């Protein structure tokens, strides 16, 4: 039983039978009743009253009376205010719902739809470790995949590793010149951090060379272009593309160090992939599609031999798809990779989780695929998200101001340990249990803080703010779950005669109604690809539960029947908190 769909169906049926006015069910708008009015759900009547030429109040009264007269009625009462039909749910309906679903850990999950969705996320460069921005990307991509899975879709999680190009060669040149043969093993530095240090070192040394040239009067553009380090990196890229064995061996070794480091971080944050693509294996894809596009006049060739597409009629401009020397650009390989992914997995939707800096790129990608009439085109969707900034401003890799993912996770775990120990509730935990708890709280706080904001919005990350045990945070919800589990350890629910319950108190009713909405929230979060809706919902459930528990004792309830009712509320609340936080990739501890 789901209340909102049931209300919509009832209104649809009444309009057809009573007024001979057939409508689609999605045309019935049902909202939560505003706090200032009596009711639980509100039906908006204006569009129907206008069509039927009946005043909204008259239509609301007629529909309300008909809903009350239906057998069995879901409603205890109704009122009509300015064209809005406010419905008060009958306690019996809510009690039946609770008894039917309270112990279902999978409440809110949906049946298999037999459709496939591909989600691509992370997509790191192999010249540096994952950073704070990658964390928002990974958490967002993983959660969107989890939401689609919860809504019955078959999910394929993919990643494209950007493992070739001038940026990779910069790290390689710096290692050759300055490492003295050092390795991650010999230094004890995690592989991705080790390689990233040499990328930053390249930038530092390049800056010195440019400044020396500028001091000699060399123009800035020439100084940057002809700096020995830059020329060495450019030559290494040429050698890599030519298949130089020594360069390839160095490239494989250093990428191997980075992948080993990535694997540790991915495991720690709970990020995983069904398939990883590598740019070194995909950068030549799409060249055949360029030939096809030229033949079909989708593309055109300029005098220098370069190939372009004219998108001015689509509100954009001209875009290059192949250089004059015949080499591919990023757009070329993305077209080819889109086709390869479709041919391998045949997804109905292919979601790219990429920051809003690439909005233009993905508009062009979809347009080109549409104009080439590729089967993958209709499913391409760019899930654009805002960048993460620190209170000090935007991060910059080349200047060494980026916050590495591992470092921020360590910091969050440390803050979690400090806050938890200050509360003094883990004295009976073993050292291993404490470590696991601090990791759970720290990572949970980080994920929740990065996911609680609408993906489209840019955000500022503040570690201390994210880990408060009171307020709009992951630890607040984790603590609420642990509190409920403590109640249930002392006294699990037993059997009782459900029909003996005569009514629900306001906070009992508010919590049951809120939990009934879980499935609808999961669906909305999936449809909108917006995990913040789940985060806000989980926080709301935790808030209502804490208000309920502060006002109504469970173990010392007025009657045994009331105690069993409240224990069922506790069980269902715990299930929903665990499930909703699980969709965000966040664990909820049994004890805190």
Percentage with pLDDT > 70 across the chain: 98
pLDDT of residue 398: 47
d(CA 331, CA 512): 51
What whole-number distance in Å separates Cα of residue 365 and Cα of residue 547? 50
pLDDT band at 401 (very low <50, low <70, confident <90, very high): low
537 lies in the same domain as 444: yes
Q: Is the peptide bond before 452 cis (omega within 30 degrees of 0)?
A: no
pLDDT at 395 > cutoff 50: no
Is 332 a member of any domain?
no
Q: How far is CA 221 from CA 209, 217, 228, 494, in A?
A: 13, 12, 14, 78
Confidence of residue 425 (pLDDT cuts 50, 70, 90): confident
Per mean pLDDT, which range of 160-169, 223-232, 269-278, 384-393 is the poorest? 384-393
Burial category of 501 from C-beta neighbours within 10 Å (exposed 0-12, middle 13-18, buried 19 and up): buried
Domain range enclosing 56: 3-89
Among 78-92, 132-146, 462-476, 574-588, the range scoring the smallest mean pLDDT is 462-476
Domain boundary among 267, 298, 319: 267
Helix, coil or strand: residue 513: helix
Residue 303 located in a structural domain:
no
pLDDT class for 463, splitting at 50, 70, 90? Answer: confident
What is the enclosing helix (H) or strand (E) of 224? helix 220-225
Average pLDDT, the chain: 94
Say if residue 515 is in the same domain as residue 420. Answer: yes
The CATH code of the domain that includes 38 is 3.30.1360.70
Domain assignment present for 302: no
- 130 closest CA partner among 384, 458, 402: 402
Confidence of residue 519 (pLDDT cuts 50, 70, 90): very high
Residues 437 and 573 in one domain: yes
Phi, psi of 404 (to 5 degrees): -65, 145
Task: Specify the range with the lowest mean pLDDT, choosing from 146-160, 243-257, 496-510, 555-569.
Answer: 496-510
Q: Give the confidence band of 394 by pLDDT, cuts at 50, 70, 90.
A: low
Q: Are 207 and 82 found together in one domain? A: no
* Averaged pLDDT, 204-222: 96
Same domain? 415 vs 562: yes
18 is a domain residue: yes
CATH number at residue 519: 1.10.730.10
Pair (81, 223) in one structural domain: no
- CA–CA distance, 347 with 262 (Å, rounded to integer): 27
In a domain? residue 227: yes
Interior angle at CA 344, CA 338 and CA 345, nearest 5:
90
Supply φ then ψ for residue 497, to 5 degrees. -85, 100
Whether the predicted pLDDT of 187 surpasses 50:
yes
Q: How far is CA 578 from the centre of its chain?
A: 17
Write out the two tokens for 343.
Answer: 């041919």
pLDDT band at 385, cuts 50/70/90?
Answer: very high
Number of structural domains in the chain: 3
Q: What is the pLDDT of residue 498?
A: 64
pLDDT, tens digit, for every residue of 233-282? 999 999 998 999 999 999 999 999 999 999 999 999 999 999 999 999 99
Together in a domain, 560 and 444 = yes
Report if residue 154 sits inside a domain. Answer: no
Domain C-terminal end among 89, 123, 143: 89
Q: Is residue 150 part of a domain?
A: no
Which pLDDT value is given to residue 280? 93
Residues 463 and 576 in one domain: yes
Do 34 and 182 sit in the same domain of this protein? no
The reported pLDDT for the residue numbered 397 is 46
Can you say how many angstroms the Cα of residue 358 is from the centroid of all Cα atoms in its chain? Answer: 18
CB–CB of 74/93 below 8 Å? Answer: yes
Chain-centroid distance of CA 145 in Å reads 8
Q: Over 90: is that where the pLDDT of 166 sits?
A: yes
Please identify, among 267, 290, 323, the residue that sits at the C-terminal boundary of a domain.
267
Between CA 294 and CA 308 the distance in angstroms is 9
Structural domain includes residue 139: no
Q: Mark whether 65 and 183 lie in a shared domain.
A: no
Distances (CA, A) of 419 to 423, 426, 440, 482, 589: 7, 11, 13, 16, 16
Examine the domain organization and report whether 80 and 181 are in the same domain.
no
Kindly report the pTM of this predicted structure. 0.92
Give the pLDDT confidence of 71-97 residue by residue, as tens digits.
888 999 999 998 899 999 999 999 999
Distance, CA of 307 to chain centre: 37
* Tens-place pLDDT, residues 353-369: 999 999 999 999 999 99
Selection from 451, 514, 455, 519 nearest residue 151 by Cα: 519
Phi, psi of 389 (to 5 degrees): -120, 160
């Amino acid at each position: 039983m789901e209340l909102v769909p049931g209300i919509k169906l009832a209104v649809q049926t009444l309009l057809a039978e009573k007024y001979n006015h057939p409508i689609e069910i999605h045309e019935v708008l049902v909202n939560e009743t505003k706090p200032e009015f009596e009711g639980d759900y509100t039906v908006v009547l204006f569009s129907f009253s206008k069509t039927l030429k009946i005043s909204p109040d008259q239509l609301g009264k007629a529909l309300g009376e008909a809903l009350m007269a239906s057998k069995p009625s879901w409603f205890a009462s109704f009122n009509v205010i300015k064209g809005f039909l406010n419905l008060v749910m009958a306690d019996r309906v809510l009690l039946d719902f609770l008894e039917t679903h309270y112990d279902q850990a999978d409440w809110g999950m949906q049946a298999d739809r037999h459709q496939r969705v591909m989600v691509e996320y992370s997509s790191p460069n192999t010249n540096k470790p994952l950073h704070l921005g990658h964390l928002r990307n990974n958490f967002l991509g993983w959660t969107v995949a989890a939401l689609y899975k919860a809504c019955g879709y078959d999910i394929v999680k993919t990643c494209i590793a950007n493992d070739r190009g001038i940026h990779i060669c910069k790290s390689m040149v710096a290692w050759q010149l300055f490492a003295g043969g050092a390795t991650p093993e010999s230094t004890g530095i995690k592989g991705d951090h080790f390689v990233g240090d040499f990328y930053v070192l390249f930038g530092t040394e390049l800056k010195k060379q440019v400044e020396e040239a500028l001091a000699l009067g060399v123009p800035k553009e020439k100084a940057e272009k002809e700096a020995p380090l830059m020329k060495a990196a450019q030559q290494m890229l040429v050698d890599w593309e030519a298949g130089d064995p020594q360069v390839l061996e160095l490239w494989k070794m250093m990428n191997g160090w980075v992948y080993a480091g990535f694997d540790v971080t991915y495991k720690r944050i709970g990020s995983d992939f069904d398939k990883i693509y590598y740019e070194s294996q995909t950068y030549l894809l799409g060249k055949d599609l360029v030939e096809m596009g030229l033949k079909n006049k989708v593309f055109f060739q300029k005098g220098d031999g370069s190939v372009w597409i004219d998108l001015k009629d689509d509100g954009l401009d001209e875009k290059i798809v192949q250089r004059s020397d015949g080499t591919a650009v990023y757009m070329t390989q993305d077209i080819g990779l889109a086709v390869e992914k479709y041919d391998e997995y045949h997804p109905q939707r292919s979601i790219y989780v990429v920051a809003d800096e690439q909005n233009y790129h993905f508009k062009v990608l979809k347009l080109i695929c549409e104009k080439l009439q590729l089967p993958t085109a209709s499913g391409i969707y760019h899930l654009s998200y805002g960048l993460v900034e620190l209170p000090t401003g935007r991060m910059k890799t080349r200047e060494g101001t980026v916050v590495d993912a591992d470092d921020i996770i360590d910091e969050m775990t440390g803050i979690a340990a400090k806050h938890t120990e200050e509360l003094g509730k883990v004295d009976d935990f073993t050292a291993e249990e404490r470590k696991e708890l601090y990791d759970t709280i720290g990572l949970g706080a980080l994920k929740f803080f990065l996911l609680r904001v609408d993906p489209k919005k840019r955000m500022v990350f503040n570690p201390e703010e994210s880990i408060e045990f009171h307020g709009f945070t992951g630890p607040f919800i984790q603590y609420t779950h642990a509190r409920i589990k403590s109640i249930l350890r002392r006294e699990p629910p037993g059997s009782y005669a459900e029909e003996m319950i005569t009514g629900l108190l306001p906070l009992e009713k508010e919590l049951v109604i809120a939990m009934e909405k879980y499935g609808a929230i999961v669906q909305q979060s999936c449809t909108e690809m917006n995990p913040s809706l789940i985060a806000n919902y989980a926080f709301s459930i935790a808030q209502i539960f804490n208000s309920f528990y502060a006002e109504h004792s469970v173990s010392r309830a007025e009657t045994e029947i009331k105690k069993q009712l409240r224990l069922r509320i506790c069980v269902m609340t715990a299930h929903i908190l665990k499930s909703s936080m699980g969709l965000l990739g966040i664990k909820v501890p049994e004890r805190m």
